[in-house]
A = this chain, B = another copy of it.
Amino acid sequence: MAKKTTGNNDQSKSTDAVVGADQIPSHTAAGQEKRFVEDLADKDDFAQWYFEVVRKADMAEDSPVRGCMIIKPYGYAVWEAIQQGLDTRIKATGHQNLYFPLFIPMNFLQREAQHVEGFAPELAVVTHGGGEELAEPLVVRPTSETIIGHTYARWVQSYRDLPLLYNQWANVVRWEKRTRPFLRTSEFLWQEGHTVHRTEEDAEAETLMILHEVYADFVEKELAIPVVRGRKSDSEKFAGALRSYSMEAMMGDGKALQAGTSHNLGQNFAKAFEIQFLDADGTRKYAWTTSWGASTRLIGGMIMVHGDASGLKIPPKVAPIQVVIVPIWRKDEERVLVEETVTTLERTLRASGIRVKSDWRDNKPGFKFSDWELRGVPLRLEIGPKDVQNTQGTLVRRDTRAKESVPWNSMVARVQDLLAEIQQSMFDAALRFRQSRTYQVATYDEFKMRMADRANLGFVETWWCGGAACEAEIKAQTQATVRCLPFERSTDASSGQCVYCGQPATTWAVFAKAY
């Protein structure tokens, strides 16, 4: 059962190992562009690279409150795109949004034994309000199963009331000892879905539908992050869940990031909060509930999957700026000429629904190129006096750095094509990288070797007996945890022995070091 506080979300508590001194992502075009290498990663250290790119690209910064971050406008614009992409899917699958209070009475958390055990160590507690000490302390919500369960017990009376399919966008607080912007912060932003069903089958179908049609669909199609989908091991599941499912993404250093989780809570919370309904057969039954969450952590994942030595690479679909126009001029009369063209092109692109910005700062073009590469804008459009003469512009891709001259009259169509191409190409590159770093191992020696090889770190797929003892031993010795028991297997092997104990395996599993 859930001994660990695996969060109801993508902020897994399962591994808090030191971020290794791994390489800059090798699947990127890092070698081609050295301008920012010295600035961004002077120690050839992925963790250091991450901190610097988050700060220099103006995504987020530390706040005066320990463990809490300030999400800057450029980072928040990515979050707005993520919200929109998820919210559209959440609604398209029949859910409605609502809002529950930030505070939860302390005694609510104590009603589900595993739940309180998981979350108690990381609660922020309000003891005073309006100048007086409170009779009962209030917890700042770490997740909302309890207060929502308490309310659902009133909302659910008959089988006709089911299912309840609700979601909320909210901030939550989990007191974290070691924090990293976006990946693990004491306060984070997320959505948490909470549903109630008549049968176990309905709850299971909901849990899996959310994983596939909402989370994985969004993350793969819009964040261009390929994910491995599967079930969590018992030790990694949500505190209070019957079964947890997750999608796991491989970061540029070969570590795993849990990017979204969906939980079949069984009847655990229904029993703790008396969510009962009168069924068609005239008997009262406990309902089946689910919960599922995805958070600002996805921004960290996007950065770590796609970034390179020059900085961010933001997938076109979620990029706050998809095309940056950099005007190039020396003399004032050139500037006048260029300005007219830039203004017209900017207006034309914007009218076609493309998110475009022109950069008229006083700095030199080279500075601007680097600056927008750092911020990961997918396409740069350079317009100089010669371009004006030739009624063309130069488009430069952020991902491949390929350049091409494009006539004005086909600019919109070419930009649209290239944005689609970059989106697909970034997904493909991330998938190729993951495939190249996924190892099927038959022996524990090979397992250990893979986990010790920092420069080529990745996912290890192997047989496992399913026992918590083997899982704990493997983690203690290699820092690797069971990321999931994948739905799809990349091997044909049909049976085997546990890689650690050699007993008959019960499952195929993906192991990795994880954020």
Interface residues, chain A, with chain B CB atoms under 8 Å away: 63-65, 68-73, 75-77, 79-80, 96-105, 108, 120-131, 137-138, 140, 147, 150-151, 166, 170-171, 173, 175-177, 186-187, 189
Residues in chain B near residue A186, CB distance under 8 A: 129
Chain B: minimal CB distance from A13 (Å): 12
Chain B: minimal CB distance from A95 (Å): 9
Residue pairs across A and B with Cβ atoms less than 8 A apart, 23 shown, are A64-B105, A65-B105, A65-B138, A65-B147, A68-B102, A70-B101, A70-B151, A71-B99, A73-B98, A73-B166, A75-B98, A76-B96, A77-B96, A77-B97, A79-B99, A101-B187, A102-B102, A102-B140, A102-B173, A103-B124, A121-B130, A124-B128, A140-B140
A70 touches B97 (CB 8 A): no
Chain B: minimal CB distance from A90 (Å): 12
Which partner residue on chain B sits nearest A174 by CB separation?
B130
A102 touches B171 (CB 8 A): yes
A73 touches B101 (CB 8 A): no
Q: Which of B76, B104, B121, B173 contacts A99 (CB 8 A)?
A: B76
Residues in chain B near residue A177, CB distance under 8 A: 130
B122 touches A130 (CB 8 A): yes
Residues in chain B near residue A131, CB distance under 8 A: 120-121, 123, 175
Residues in chain B near residue A138, CB distance under 8 A: 65, 124
In the complex, what distance in Å separates the CA atom of A71 from the CA atom of B96? 12
B69 touches A101 (CB 8 A): yes
Interchain residue pairs A-B with the least CB separation, the first 9: A130-B175, A68-B101, A73-B96, A71-B99, A125-B128, A129-B175, A65-B101, A127-B127, A124-B129
B130 touches A100 (CB 8 A): no
Residues in chain B near residue A176, CB distance under 8 A: 130
Q: Which of B63, B72, B175 contacts A101 (CB 8 A)?
A: B63
Residues in chain B near residue A137, CB distance under 8 A: 128
In the complex, what distance in Å separates the CA atom of A68 from the CA atom of B76? 27
Chain B: minimal CB distance from A361 (Å): 10
In the complex, what distance in Å separates the CA atom of A75 from the CA atom of B100? 12
B65 touches A103 (CB 8 A): yes
Which partner residue on chain B sits nearest A320 by CB separation?
B96
Q: Which of B71, B79, B98, B104 contacts A70 (CB 8 A)?
A: B98
Residues in chain B near residue A127, CB distance under 8 A: 125-128
Given A129-B124, A131-B121; A72-B98 close (CB under 8 Å):
yes
B96 touches A64 (CB 8 A): no
A108 touches B64 (CB 8 A): yes
Given A96-B77, A129-B175, A177-B130; A147-B64 close (CB under 8 Å):
yes
Which partner residue on chain B sits nearest A80 by CB separation?
B97
A130 touches B123 (CB 8 A): yes
In the complex, what distance in Å separates the CA atom of A455 from the CA atom of B323? 60
Residues in chain B near residue A101, CB distance under 8 A: 63, 65, 68-70, 187
In the complex, what distance in Å separates the CA atom of A171 from the CA atom of B172? 11
Which partner residue on chain B sits nearest A131 by CB separation?
B121
Chain B: minimal CB distance from A272 (Å): 14
B128 touches A70 (CB 8 A): no
In the complex, what distance in Å separates the CA atom of A166 from the CA atom of B151? 36
Given A63-B147, A108-B64, A123-B130; A100-B70 close (CB under 8 Å):
yes
Chain B: minimal CB distance from A296 (Å): 9
Chain B: minimal CB distance from A14 (Å): 18
A99 touches B175 (CB 8 A): no
Residues in chain B near residue A129, CB distance under 8 A: 123-125, 175, 186
A68 touches B130 (CB 8 A): no
Chain B: minimal CB distance from A147 (Å): 7
B126 touches A124 (CB 8 A): yes
A68 touches B103 (CB 8 A): yes
Chain B: minimal CB distance from A123 (Å): 7
Which partner residue on chain B sits nearest A95 by CB separation?
B73
